[in-house]
Amino acid sequence: MSAKKNTTFLIFQDNEDARPIIEAVEQDNPGVDVQHQPGMVRLERPGSLIVKRETVEELTGREWDVQEMHLVLISLAGNVDEDDDKFEISWG
Amino acid sequence: MSIEISAKAITPIRLSYGNLKERFGDKRPASRYQEAVYDVQPTANFQYRPLWDKDHEIYDTGRTAIVMEDWYSFADPRQFYYGTYTITRAKQQEVAEHNYAFVDKRDLLDELPDDIKQAVRDILVPLRHVEWAANMNNCQIDCMGYGTTICSVAMFNAMDRLGMAQYISRIGLLLDGNETTTIDAAKKDWMDAPQWQELRHAIEDMFVLEDWFELMVAQNFVLDGLIFPLFWDRFERKLSKGGGATIAMLTEFMSEWYSETVRWTNALAKVTAQESEANQQLLSSWLDKWTNRLSKALEPVAAKAFGAEGAEQLAEVKQELLARFGKQGVTV
């Protein structure tokens, strides 16, 4: 698969609620490409992207349900694998 | 005709206040918590010294023997400022209120075995005076302390303690169909019954501690670290086994609160001990002094609560407490 086709991405609204999630993605996904666009933030990475509950909880200082992510998620690309502790997308 | 809609990005000129830029850089917007607490402490232009304390400025770092290069080194891991604190507590209050209404409506406390009721009257209800003392002590820490990250935590803590004292009062009232018999008896116990006197003595000595950080260690590190696991966890479980699970419904907030509080006491101990050898030694000596004093003071209460197992339960709780602070670099 070409590099372009292999790309996974998550796009979040650019607001207070999404900020800790974006920071968590930056921490947990080495080499992630963060593109700030008007009103939204696009996170791209070849292969896979993961959002970990533990990291977001550390950043927000409170309990966080992975499902809360959908309130600020605009779009995504990749096959979804999610449970109580993580939300992961990948091509594979 | 084609219409071209072009998106235009407007980047803010600055992402946060100047003081936060100095601390955290200008890469990302500051969090609400950072905006609310950092550098709020007044530091200059105090004019006159307070009449009640000629040796210190009105806000003075010298009111404790602990020395910190930067009093904002500590940050609350829960990130509580007014907004997040009230939202979190409001949610918990709603649950608690519902539980109290449920127990009240079905007269569940009437169904409790008599020995369980008596145990609640003897052990749990007098603890409302301990909670009130904790409220006083945290107000004192807030008043004398330095650095808004620490003081705000102390004030939130003080309000929590008042809330918990009220929950205990309500349990007392529920036990007697809104009569104050149990609460009055518990006050009398607290003042006169031999098992409470050593603890009351220790707590009253804490009221007059000069050093606010020592008070922090005595109250929030040690006393809470003994009382909550011992009574709101272990004793509760003993009651539940004997058929008193209803009580656990009414004190759910206490155990939730404690597991939350452990996070910031750990962080505060760690940051303060890391700062310098001198701080670490001070913390260790206070921890040692107050763990010995308070665990000894709790012996008769533990014996009353757990019978022959009292000493063992207390020793285990004490061991857990010392191990917890050992992990933060404060060893005894």
> Model ipTM?
0.77
Residues B194-250 pLDDT 10s? 999 999 999 999 999 999 999 999 999 999 999 999 999 999 999 999 999 999 999
Query: Residue B105 pLDDT > 60, yes or no?
Result: yes
Residues B123-164 pLDDT 10s? 999 999 999 999 999 999 999 999 999 999 999 999 999 999
Contact B77/A at CB under 8 A: yes
Per-residue b or e along B288-299, where b marks 16 or more CB atoms closer than 10 Å to that residue's CB: bebbebbbebbb
Chain B's closest residue to A61, CA to CA, is B78
Region A12-32: mean pLDDT is 94
B9/A38 touch (CB, cutoff 8 Å), yes or no = yes
- Read off the amino acid at residue B116: I
Residues B272-294 pLDDT 10s? 999 999 999 999 999 999 999 99
What is the pLDDT confidence band of residue A2, given thresholds at 50, 70 and 90?
Answer: low
CA triplet B39, B44, B45: central angle to 5 degrees?
Answer: 145
Which of B8, B31, B78 lies closest to A38 in CB terms? Answer: B8
Q: What is the DSSP letter of A10?
A: E
Query: Residue B2 pLDDT > 70, yes or no?
Result: yes
Region B8-24: mean pLDDT is 87
Which of A38, A58, A61 lies closest to B7 in CB terms? Answer: A38
What is the pLDDT confidence band of residue B327, given thresholds at 50, 70 and 90?
Answer: very high
- Please return the burial class of B32, using the count of CB atoms within 10 Å of its CB with bins 0-12, 13-18 and 19+: middle
- pLDDT at position B267: 96
**Residues of chain A found within 8 Å of residue B79, distances taken between Cβ atoms:** 60-62
Which of A36, A38, A62 lies closest to B78 in CB terms? Answer: A62
Chain B's closest residue to A39, CA to CA, is B9
- pLDDT at position B6: 81
Measured in residues, chain B has a length of 332
Q: For chain B, what is the domain count?
A: 1
User: Which residue has tokens 């407490």?
Assistant: B321
Has residue B262 been placed in a domain?
yes
Q: What are the structure tokens assigned to B281, written together?
A: 């030694």
- pLDDT at position B192: 97
CA triplet B76, B82, B88: central angle to 5 degrees?
Answer: 80
Range of the domain at B138: 75-327
**Residues of chain B found within 8 Å of residue A36, distances taken between Cβ atoms:** 9
Residues B301-313 pLDDT 10s? 999 999 999 999 9
As a whole-number percent, the residues of chain B with pLDDT over 70 amount to 100
Shortest Cα distance, chain A CAs vs residue B154, angstroms: 17
Q: Where is average pLDDT lowest: B46-60, B127-141, B314-328?
A: B46-60
Residues A43-63 pLDDT 10s? 999 999 999 999 999 998 889
Chain B's closest residue to A16, CA to CA, is B31
Residue spans of the domains in chain A: they are 19-78
Has residue B296 been placed in a domain?
yes
Q: List the single best residue of A27, A56, A62 to mutate versus B (max B Cβ within 10 A).
A: A62
* Residue A17 to residues B34, B80, B170, B184, Cα–Cα distance (Å): 15, 16, 37, 48
> Taking every pair of C-alpha atoms in chain B, what is the biggest distance, in angstroms?
93
**Residues of chain B found within 8 Å of residue A58, distances taken between Cβ atoms:** 77
Has residue B33 been placed in a domain?
no
Q: List the single best residue of A22, A60, A63 to mutate versus B (max B Cβ within 10 A).
A: A60
- pLDDT at position B3: 82
- pLDDT at position A3: 60
What is the pLDDT confidence band of residue B332, given thresholds at 50, 70 and 90?
Answer: confident
Question: What is the average pLDDT value for chain B, to the nearest integer?
Answer: 95
Residues B120-131 pLDDT 10s? 999 999 999 999
* Residue B111 to residues B10, B117, B233, Cα–Cα distance (Å): 65, 10, 22
A61/B77 touch (CB, cutoff 8 Å), yes or no = yes
Contact B3/A at CB under 8 A: no
Pick the CATH number of A19-78 from 3.40.50.300, 2.60.120.10, 3.40.50.10490, 3.90.56.10: 3.90.56.10
Task: For chains A and B, count residue pairs whose Cβ atoms are closer than 8 Å.
Answer: 25
A16/B80 touch (CB, cutoff 8 Å), yes or no = no
Has residue B187 been placed in a domain?
yes
pTM for this one? 0.90
Region B84-90: mean pLDDT is 95
Has residue B18 been placed in a domain?
no
Has residue B302 been placed in a domain?
yes
Region A58-85: mean pLDDT is 94
A61/B28 touch (CB, cutoff 8 Å), yes or no = no
Residue A34 near residue A26, CB atoms below 8 Å: yes
B7/A37 touch (CB, cutoff 8 Å), yes or no = yes
A60/B77 touch (CB, cutoff 8 Å), yes or no = no
* Residue B137 to residues B64, B203, B209, B283, Cα–Cα distance (Å): 15, 9, 9, 18
Chain A's closest residue to B263, CA to CA, is A61
Q: What are the structure tokens assigned to B248, written together?
A: 């656990």
Has residue B15 been placed in a domain?
no
Which of B29, B77, B84 lies closest to A19 in CB terms? Answer: B29
Query: Residue B190 pLDDT > 60, yes or no?
Result: yes
Q: For chain A, which residues lie within 8 Å of any Cβ of chain B, measuring from their own Cβ?
A: 16, 19, 23, 36-38, 58, 60-62
CATH number assigned to the domain comprising residue B168: 1.10.620.20
Has residue B8 been placed in a domain?
no
